[in-house]
Amino acid sequence: MKIAKHILFILFFCVFLSELIINHTQFFSFKKLNGQTIREPQPKFTLDNWLNGNCQEQQMKFFEQNLDIRPFLIRFRNQLGYSIFNELNAPEIEVGKNQVLFGSGYIESYMGQNFIGEDKIINKVNMLAYVQDELKKRNVDLVFVIAPGKPSVFPEYLPEKYDLRKKKRSNYDAFAEQLEKQKINHIDFSNYFLKLKPKSKYPLFTRCGVHWSGYASTIAADSLVKYMEKLSAVDLLNYHTEGGQETTVPRSTDADLGDLLNLTVDIPSHEMYYPNIMFEKNSKKEKPNVLIIGDSFVWSWISFYNFFPNLFNEKSAFWYYNHEVAWSPTDQNKTLTASLNLKEETTHRDFILIVNAESSLNNAGQFFIEQMFEMLHKDTLNTNSILPTPISKK
């Protein structure tokens, strides 16, 4: 018992001493933790707080959270758990074979565990078909894009506990079938990437990323551009590739899952490739006005590689999960979409893109399809109910 007390005292003394050294010198610096943390506020001293013990408890939490050595201690603990027990101290992340990381929600979607049912998907695509037809009457082209889930492209790396023989029908399976059947303008990148996988020299998904790799996103962007050009006979801005970099150091979202693990030693990546995309300057080509409704995969075409800022005009916008304006060359950023006039925001566009990863298909469009169906249906009824004014004969 005495030995344990001595060890605890020595550990506490070491932590206290390290804080003094760090605060008074620049000798040590620790990498910050990734992800979100709930910060304890600086406790306020009151007599009541002191007497009931709340002040001391709050002060201890505040002190623990603001220790300069805290990031190192957490990373060290996480590293021990992963290296010795293969355990991750991160919710919604699972480690598969060959140290490949997966998002739990993507596995759930792939295995068909969140299947919403055939009838709901048929009804949703029925509404989508109506929206597509009504928008086309207003000279707006709609395109539905399915971004691939990592488990769909690399099921062989899933954790052992998932028996692929028990895979059920998924939202993706039903959507892919109905989009084709009802002739919806769409691109199925899940199917395309499966065909591309044996031929691809570089990873379509990185070991520690949940989104498609930067390299894969450029392939997908090029396919989308060609599809849009063919669909509406628009001639988008030219661009080309000027070399690139081969590296094992991931960029941007290519290590988004790995970063959240907060390890002392990062899981090593495979060799990746980052092409340099060069866009034509001083072009007289007219850029289209495009509205994008989608999830986090869209950011690959905005901030990882800036396809959309270069190819689309200044009136274009990205509605993140149909909740807020997440990107726009104008000053609309962070504006809640519920505060905008849906008819004005949609019927004067050149294109509307709905981009959903497989894991988002349980609520495809994030209620945008339903809102558009209702708005366009009412607008059509109102237009048809307006009779022409008869010309009076003199």
Q: Which amino acid is at 39?
A: R
With beta carbons less than 8 A apart as the criterion, state whether 274 and 247 touch: yes
Query: Residue ranges per domain, the chain?
Result: 97-381
Q: Quick one: pLDDT at residue 32?
A: 81
Rounded Cα gap, residues 38 and 320, in angstroms: 24
Q: Quick one: pLDDT at residue 389?
A: 46
Looking up tokens 């002060």, which residue turns up? 59
Q: Is the dihedral of CA 64, 69, 71, 75 positive or negative?
A: negative
Rounded Cα gap, residues 43 and 21, in angstroms: 25
pLDDT tens digits along 182-218: 999 999 999 999 999 999 999 999 999 999 999 999 9
Of residues 96 and 49, the one with the higher pLDDT is 96
Residue 158 has pLDDT above 70, yes or no: yes
With beta carbons less than 8 A apart as the criterion, state whether 270 and 204 touch: no
Q: Quick one: pLDDT at residue 22?
A: 46
What is each CA distance from 357 to 13, 211, 283, 286, 300, in whole angstroms? 50, 9, 33, 30, 13
pTM of the model: 0.84
Residue 120 has pLDDT above 90, yes or no: yes
Q: Quick one: pLDDT at residue 199?
A: 95
Of residues 93 and 90, the one with the higher pLDDT is 93
Q: Quick one: pLDDT at residue 190?
A: 98
Rounded Cα gap, residues 319 and 353, in angstroms: 10
With beta carbons less than 8 A apart as the criterion, state whether 375 and 342 touch: yes
Residue 388 has pLDDT above 50, yes or no: no
pLDDT tens digits along 139-149: 999 999 999 99
Contacts of 381 by beta carbon, 8 Å cutoff, 6+ apart: none
Q: What percent of the chain lies above the pLDDT cut of 70?
A: 80
Of residues 67 and 195, the one with the higher pLDDT is 195
Mean pLDDT of 271-284: 92
What is each CA distance from 109 to 34, 167, 356, 361, 376, in whole angstroms? 26, 10, 13, 9, 31
Q: How many CA atoms lie within 13 A of 366 on its CB side?
A: 21
Rounded Cα gap, residues 56 and 253, in angstroms: 41
Residue 266 has pLDDT above 90, yes or no: yes
Query: pLDDT grade, residue 55 (50/70/90)?
Result: low
Residue 68 has pLDDT above 80, yes or no: no
Rounded Cα gap, residues 143 and 106, in angstroms: 23
How does the average pLDDT of the chain come out, rounded? 87
Q: What's the alpha-carbon Rg for the chain, to the nearest Å?
A: 26
Q: Quick one: pLDDT at residue 392?
A: 42
Residue 13 has pLDDT above 50, yes or no: no
Rounded Cα gap, residues 17 and 325, in angstroms: 48
Q: Quick one: pLDDT at residue 386?
A: 47
Q: Quick one: pLDDT at residue 109?
A: 98
Selection from 132, 127, 126, 130 nearest residue 144 by Cα: 132
Rounded Cα gap, residues 189 and 145, in angstroms: 7
Q: What does the block give as tokens for 367?
A: 């209620």
Q: What percent of the chain lies above the pLDDT cut of 90?
A: 70
Rounded Cα gap, residues 64 and 105, in angstroms: 32
Rounded Cα gap, residues 79 and 199, in angstroms: 35
Q: Quick one: pLDDT at residue 220?
A: 98
Strands 186-188 and 141-147: parallel
With beta carbons less than 8 A apart as the criterion, state whether 204 and 147 touch: no
Mean pLDDT of 168-184: 98
Residue 20 has pLDDT above 60, yes or no: no
Most confident of 39-48, 233-242, 281-290: 233-242
Q: Quick one: pLDDT at residue 284?
A: 82
Instruction: Report the DSSP beta bridge partners of residue 273.
Output: 246
